[in-house]
């Protein structure tokens, strides 16, 4: 269209130069006089030029008008820029793949999930902190909150006396920065001897003691002054076995069940367990799991809920009172050396030497003895030694 208009202007420009009237020249000698006929011819040329320009204007206006009308009648279309597609079945965009911008702009980007909250990485902690125990807390809960083992809390808090059931509201606990324990450095100690000393359960390492930032050891000249409190990462020590205070009571060996306990009573033979089931209605833990310092599991059991015999056997202990912190406690000998313990009961429904079957209600859960909130403390012993109940019960 642009070229066409250009040609039209060029054509009429040439035509205008061709038919342009020349200026009058003074009359020369022997020039013929102007006649009416010559005047008439000049008039015709002027009319032709005017008409041609008028027609040209009409044609140009018509072409422009038709062009604008044609373009305005076309439907508006929008072509979206091509977007990257993920493979079939992929739910999330691939992170780290550069994507070319719209119309080949070359701007690359990284796809990632939209997050309304910025995730700030948790910084490592190198110092201990104080934690005040509140109602509803348990050792397992506190340890999980600070991402350490509950044994580490027992290691560094002497007021607990190695007993997780000593937890009470208002008590202030030292929470170590990592699993391990604190040790006051003595004259003559070396990193190797200290690491070996505190490798009772888990293995401590001399290099870990040196490089732990909280100990502030000069790596160019590693040494620690006597009297300095040092963190032993991964260190462990022997915890008091509170379960040993409550002597295992089995049936008389004459009963023919294979039980031979020092604390045996006069109960004779009776049913023998063929398997072990769960002793409470709930299948969750309310406080502490099995581990050093807690040789049983604390099962969720609100005050007054049923406590069931885990297997068939003979009741060898049904005793009320404090009982070394166990509170009202029942023991059942299941034969073949297996004895189960049920502690902190609010009520006992069975008597000594009474035979019971699996699932018999032997009492109700409670909060007696050294207990912080109602629950069922459950133990399994074989030959007088505690084992993890999760290895036996179904």
352: Cβ–Cβ under 8 A, 6 or more apart, which residues?
265, 267, 315, 316, 317, 318
Q: How far is CA 172 from CA 89, 157, 175, 313, in A?
A: 52, 9, 9, 43
Task: Determine which helix (DSSP H) or strand (DSSP E) holds 340, and give its type and residue range.
Answer: strand 338-348
The percent of residues in the chain predicted with pLDDT above 70, rounded, is 73
| DSSP symbols for 262-293 | TT--S-------S----SSS--SBSS--SBTT
**DSSP-derived pairing of the beta strands 229-233 and 180-184:** antiparallel
| Domain assignments of the chain as residue spans, ordered by start | 129-233, 242-391
Model confidence over 255-298: pLDDT tens digits?
A: 444 444 445 666 877 889 989 999 999 999 887 888 888 899 99
Is the pLDDT at 142 greater than 70, yes or no? yes
Burial of 119 (0-12, 13-18, 19+ CB in 10 A): exposed
Q: From CA 169, how far away is CA 239, in angstroms rounded?
A: 23
| DSSP symbols for 172-194 | EEEE-SSSEEEEE--TT--HHHH
Mean pLDDT for the stretch of residues 360-379? 93
In degrees, to the nearest 5, what angle opens at C-alpha 112 toward C-alphas 111 and 115?
A: 145
CATH number of 242-391: 2.70.70.10
pLDDT at residue 255, as a whole number? 44
Model confidence over 144-194: pLDDT tens digits?
A: 999 999 899 999 999 999 988 888 889 999 999 999 999 999 999 999 999
Q: 239-266: b or e for each residue (b if 16 or more CB lie within 10 Å)?
A: beebbeebebbbbbeebebebebeebbe
pLDDT at residue 314, as a whole number? 95
pLDDT at residue 279, as a whole number? 97
pLDDT at residue 81, as a whole number? 55
Is the pLDDT at 340 greater than 70, yes or no? yes
Confidence of residue 5 (pLDDT cuts 50, 70, 90): low
| Tokens, residue 219 | 């790596």
Model confidence over 30-87: pLDDT tens digits?
A: 555 555 555 455 555 567 778 888 888 888 888 887 777 777 776 655 555 555 555 5
Confidence of residue 27 (pLDDT cuts 50, 70, 90): very low
Q: How far is CA 67 from CA 11, 64, 78, 104, in A?
A: 22, 5, 22, 32
Q: From CA 132, how far away is CA 130, in angstroms rounded?
A: 7
Q: Would the pTM count as exceeding 0.75?
A: no
Range with lowest mean pLDDT among 60-64, 112-116, 178-182, 341-345 = 112-116
| DSSP symbols for 209-244 | HHH-GGG---TTS----TT-EEEEET-B-PPP-GGG
Is the pLDDT at 365 greater than 70, yes or no? yes
* The CATH number of domain 129-233, selected from 3.30.565.10, 1.20.1630.10, 3.10.350.10, 1.10.275.10: 3.10.350.10
Model confidence over 127-140: pLDDT tens digits?
A: 999 999 998 788 88
Is the pLDDT at 241 greater than 60, yes or no? yes
Work out the mean pLDDT of the chain and round it to a whole number.
Answer: 81
Is the pLDDT at 91 greater than 80, yes or no? no
Q: From CA 28, how far away is CA 311, in angstroms rounded?
A: 149
Cβ 379 vs Cβ 243: under 8 Å:
yes
The structure tokens 């070996």 sit at 196
Could you tell me which residue, 252 or 314, shows the higher pLDDT?
314
pLDDT at residue 257, as a whole number? 45
pLDDT at residue 302, as a whole number? 94
């Amino acid at each position: 269209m642009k070229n066409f208009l250009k040609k039209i202007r060029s054509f009429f420009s040439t035509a205008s130069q061709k038919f342009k009237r020349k200026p009058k020249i003074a009359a020369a000698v022997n020039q013929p006089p102007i006649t009416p006929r010559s005047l008439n011819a000049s008039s015709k040329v002027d009319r032709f030029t005017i008409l041609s320009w008028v027609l040209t204007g009409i044609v140009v206006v018509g072409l422009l008008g038709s062009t604008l009308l044609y373009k305005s009648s076309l439907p508006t279309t929008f072509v979206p820029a091509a977007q990257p597609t993920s493979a079939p079945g992929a739910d999330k965009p691939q992170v780290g793949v550069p994507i070319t911008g719209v119309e080949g702009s070359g701007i690359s980007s990284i796809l990632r999930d939209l997050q309304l909250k910025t995730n700030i990485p948790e910084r490592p902690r190198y110092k201990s902190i104080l934690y005040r125990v509140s109602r509803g807390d348990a050792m397992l809960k506190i340890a999980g909150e600070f991402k350490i083992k509950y044994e580490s809390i027992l290691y560094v808090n002497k007021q607990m006396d190695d007993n997780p059931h000593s937890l009470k509201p208002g008590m202030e606990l030292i929470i170590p920065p990592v699993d391990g324990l604190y040790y006051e450095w003595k004259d003559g100690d070396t990193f190797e001897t200290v690491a070996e000393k505190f490798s009772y359960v888990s293995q401590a390492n001399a290099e870990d003691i040196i490089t732990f930032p909280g100990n502030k050891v000069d790596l160019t000249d590693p040494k620690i002054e006597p009297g300095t409190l040092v963190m032993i990462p991964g260190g462990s020590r022997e915890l008091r076995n509170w379960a040993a205070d409550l002597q295992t009571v089995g049936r008389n060996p004459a009963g023919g069940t294979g039980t031979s306990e020092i604390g045996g009573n006069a109960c004779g033979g009776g049913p023998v367990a063929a398997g072990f089931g769960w002793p409470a209605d709930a299948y969750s833990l309310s406080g502490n799991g099995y581990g050093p310092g807690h040789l049983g599991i604390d099962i969720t059991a609100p005050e007054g809920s049923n406590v069931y015999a885990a297997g068939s056997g003979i009741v060898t202990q049904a005793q009320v009172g404090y009982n070394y912190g166990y509170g009202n406690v029942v023991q059942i000998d299941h034969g073949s050396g297996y004895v189960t313990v049920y502690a902190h009961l609010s009520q006992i429904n069975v008597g000594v030497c009474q035979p019971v079957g699996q699932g018999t209600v032997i009492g109700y859960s409670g909060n007696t003895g050294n207990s912080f909130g109602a629950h069922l403390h459950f133990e399994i012993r074989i030959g007088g030694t505690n084992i993890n109940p999760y290895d036996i019960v179904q």
